[in-house]
Structures are given as C-alpha cells and as structure tokens.
C-alpha cells in the first residue's frame, strides 16, 4: 500500500516537474499559449488531426525554426516565390491559403515552444480519463438491463426453497405421527380432493377473486385508456444521438438545431449539414467513439481523409416519436415564438434524455387543459395587439386572459 502511494507521488511530482519545465521559459517571453489561442486555433490543433490546416503535433521536428517563422509570417509569399517545401505543404492541404500573421520573431518562437510542449505532454493525461469512463458506463447499463431477470431468478429460487422445505416438514411430521401412533390421514385424490379443498378454503378463494378483479379492472382500464397514446415512447434511432450530451453538457440551444421551431409549423429535424457545423471538427464522441459520427459523414457524403464532400448522400431515416393525427393542426412557431412557451413545457427535460422519449401524452385533453390554464403573455406581444386591447375591454383589466378566452378551445382552432 505504501509502495503504491509512493509510486503515485512520484508520477505527480513528474507531472509537476514537466509543467515547471515547460512553463518557466514562457513566463519571461510572449505567452505562446495565448498567442496560439488567439491566432491559430481557428484552423489548427496541437494534436494530429487535420482541422482546416494540418495538426501541428511535432511540427518543430518536421521543419526548421527559421523556415517556420518565415512561413507563419507570410506563407503565400513563399508559395509564390516557389519555395519547394512551401509549395508542397500548400498543395498537400487542398490549397487553402494560410493568412499572413503580423507577429514578431519572438512571438512566433513562443508559439512554436507552446506547440512543442503540447506535442510532448499530450498523450498521457487525456487517454486515461477517456478509457475509464465508458467502461464504467457499460457496467452500469448492463446492470440495469439485467434487473428484471435477476428478480425472476430469485423468485423462482425462493419458491423452490419453499416447496422443498414444505416437503421436508411434511415428511418429518409423518415420522412424528407414526411414532406417536396417530393414524395416517386419509388423502383424497382427484375431483373429490379439489372439492374438499374448495370447501375448506372459501375465504381464501373469495379474497383472491376480489384482489384479482380489482387488479384486473385497474390494468384493463389503463390499457384501454392508453390506446393510441405513445407517452414514454423511446424508439432506437439510426444514430444514437444524445440530447443529454448536446443540450445538457454542451449547452447548445434547442433552436440551434431545431431552427424551424420559431419560424414554421415543424420544429424541424436538423439536416446533416447542421451536424457538420461542429462535427467537421469533432470526429469522436465520448460514448460511442467514431461509429455514430461516421454515420453523419456517410449520410452527407464527407470524406474524412480528404476533408472533402464526395457528393454521395444518403438520407438518415429517423424514427418519428411525436405524432399527431392528421385531424389535428399544431404549429410550433405559434407556440414558441408568439406564445413564448418553453420547449421543455411539452417535451419535458430533454436535456437529461440519453434516448429521446415522448414526455407528454399529446391527447386532446392535455392540449385543452393547457389552453385553459395558460395566461397569454400580452406584454410587448405585437402579434395580437388589437385583440388584446379588445379582450381587456371585454373582460376588464384584472381578469386572467387565458388562451381559452381568445378562442383557444374552439373546435376549428385545431380541427379544420
């Protein structure tokens, strides 16, 4: 144990040592990390991935410092002047011109020093965290999936135990009876036995019948009432997209991807070009690695290696969750933009959903209830200025102006 702790300590000291080594020279000079962040990260990473320009890992080993300084200050001049190495780099990365940067030699050197430090420090730290997390997740998931099965097994075992013990007890009782000279009871078999048992257990049977009837009625009622209601429906989707990750952790607004929610009847399922705004860069997810993101690339026809579109597209067949019948009209823009209703009011805590599920029943009763309860936000609401004035006159200034009072429960509002 002591030995283990000691080893832990040395590794910590080593990290500290490395940090000190790579930080000290940067303190006096320009801050390479800040310069890199301000000027380079739009196109480059310190790892190996090609983003817009190449990944800069170990770039200090590939090129001489003088050449790098010249290149960073004005790469296009070098290409035009016919510098062989410059032309090669330019052509290798799809002839995307790197702009000229007005940095001093010292500043460029600081940036190169930062890349050097990152190249050498990079591999150890993130790998350990990334490997640990999914394993734990997988364990937890497997546990919850097996739960009913384990319960069933335990129940069967308990019943078996009960039966065995019952037999043993009866056997022992028989032996005791024999010893005491009690005559063996007459055991009735077949029809007569059943009849006898029923006569003996009228109360138990009545109780079971009552319990069964009540339970059956409740279940039956719920089953009938649940016909056509898909509340809780959470089908497997072709891409395992996690709202918990994108909304909960990354805090991307719902309306970034579902930009139709404010403008149209449909909130809209984002087309893959919206995914590509981030996933051109993010090629690996925390849970499924590259497999799920690769499906976006396949759908939109993006060649990761060449960083170019192939033109071969394939629609993603998402499974519809929320489905209103054609007889009912619903408009997202009217509710989100005009009414100011939060997405979560109807869709629930989407930011916590790993798999998207239907939160609300979407029944007519549910719609009507909300139209009766919700107060219309008339303040600064230009959509109904005239109507609001009229309503205020009709009902008086203090009345709660609900959607129903604006005619929101009339049949033809939704059924036409």
Q: How far apart are CA 252 and CA 246, in angstroms?
A: 6
Q: What are phi and psi of 251, to 5 degrees?
A: 60, 45
Q: What are phi and psi of 153, to 5 degrees?
A: -60, -45
Site mask, another protein, residues 35-74, x = CB under 8 A? --xxx-xxx-x-----xx----------------------
> For 303, which DSSP code?
E
Span near another protein by CB under 8 A; candidates 108-116, 171-179, 248-256, 294-302: 248-256
Q: What are phi and psi of 302, to 5 degrees?
A: -110, 125
Span near another protein by CB under 8 A; candidates 21-29, 75-83, 138-146, 317-325: 317-325
Q: Exposed, middle or buried: residue 213 (CB in 10 Å: 0-12, 13-18, 19+)?
A: exposed
Span near another protein by CB under 8 A; candidates 4-12, 105-113, 378-386, 388-396: 378-386
| Residue 4 beta carbon to another protein: minimum distance, rounded to whole angstroms | 30
380 belongs to the binding site for another protein (CB under 8 A):
yes
110 belongs to the binding site for another protein (CB under 8 A):
no
Q: Which residues contact 55 (CB under 8 A, 6 or more apart)?
A: 44, 45, 46, 47, 48, 49
| Residue 1 beta carbon to another protein: minimum distance, rounded to whole angstroms | 34
Q: How far apart are CA 249 and CA 230, in angstroms?
A: 28
| Residue 292 beta carbon to another protein: minimum distance, rounded to whole angstroms | 16
Cβ atoms of 110 and 35 within 8 Å: the answer is yes
Which of 17, 256, 329, 395 touches another protein by CB under 8 A? 256
- Residues 264-303 close enough to bind another protein by CB under 8 A: 266, 269, 271, 273-274, 276-278, 280-282
Cβ atoms of 388 and 379 within 8 Å: the answer is no
- Residues 144-163 close enough to bind another protein by CB under 8 A: 147-148, 151-152, 155-156, 159, 162-163
Nearer to another protein, 164 or 175 (CB): 164
- Residues 172-231 close enough to bind another protein by CB under 8 A: 193-194, 197, 201, 204, 208, 219, 223, 226-230
Q: Exposed, middle or buried: residue 262 (CB in 10 Å: 0-12, 13-18, 19+)?
A: middle
Span near another protein by CB under 8 A; candidates 21-29, 113-121, 376-384, 393-401: 376-384
143 belongs to the binding site for another protein (CB under 8 A):
no
């Amino acid at each position: 144990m002591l030995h283990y702790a000691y080893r832990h300590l040395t590794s910590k000291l080593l990290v500290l040592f490395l940090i000190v080594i790579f930080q000290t020279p940067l303190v006096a000079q320009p801050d390479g990390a800040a310069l890199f962040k301000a000027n380079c990260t739009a196109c480059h990473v310190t790892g190996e991935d090609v983003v817009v320009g190449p990944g800069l890992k170990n770039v200090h080993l590939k090129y001489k410092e003088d050449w790098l300084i010249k290149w960073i200050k004005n790469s296009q001049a070098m290409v035009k002047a016919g510098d062989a190495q410059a032309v090669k780099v330019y052509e290798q990365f799809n002839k995307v011109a790197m702009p000229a940067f007005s940095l001093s030699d010292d500043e460029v050197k600081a940036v190169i020093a930062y890349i050097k430090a990152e190249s050498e420090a990079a591999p150890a730290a993130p790998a350990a965290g990334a490997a640990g997390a999914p394993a734990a997740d997988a364990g937890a998931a497997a546990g919850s999936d097996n739960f009913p099965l384990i319960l069933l097994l335990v129940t069967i075992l308990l019943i078996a135990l009960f039966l065995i013990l019952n037999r043993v007890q009866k056997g022992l009782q028989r032996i005791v009876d024999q010893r005491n000279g009690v005559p063996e009871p007459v055991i009735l078999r077949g029809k007569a036995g059943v009849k006898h048992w029923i006569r003996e257990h009228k109360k138990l049977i009545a109780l079971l019948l009552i319990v069964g009837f009540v339970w059956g009625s409740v279940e039956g009622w719920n089953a009938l009432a649940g016909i056509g209601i898909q509340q809780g429906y959470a089908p497997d989707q072709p891409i395992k997209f996690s709202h918990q990750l994108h909304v909960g952790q990354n805090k991307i607004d719902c309306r970034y991807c579902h930009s139709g929610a404010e403008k149209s009847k449909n909130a809209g399922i984002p087309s893959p070009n919206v995914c590509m705004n981030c996933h051109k860069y993010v090629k690996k997810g925390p849970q499924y690695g590259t497999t799920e993101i690769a499906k976006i690339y396949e759908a939109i026809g993006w060649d990761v290696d060449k960083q170019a579109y192939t033109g071969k597209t394939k629609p993603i067949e998402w499974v519809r969750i929320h489905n209103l019948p054609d007889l009912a009209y619903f408009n997202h823009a009217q509710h989100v933009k005009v009414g100011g209703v939060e997405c979560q009011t109807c869709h629930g805590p989407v930011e916590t959903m790993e798999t998207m599920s239907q939160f609300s029943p979407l029944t007519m009763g549910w719609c009507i209830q909300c139209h009766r309860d919700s107060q219309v936000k008339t303040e600064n609401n230009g959509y109904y200025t005239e109507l609001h004035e009229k309503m205020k006159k009709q009902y008086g200034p203090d009345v709660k102006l609900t959607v129903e009072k604006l005619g929101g429960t009339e049949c033809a509002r939704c059924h036409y």
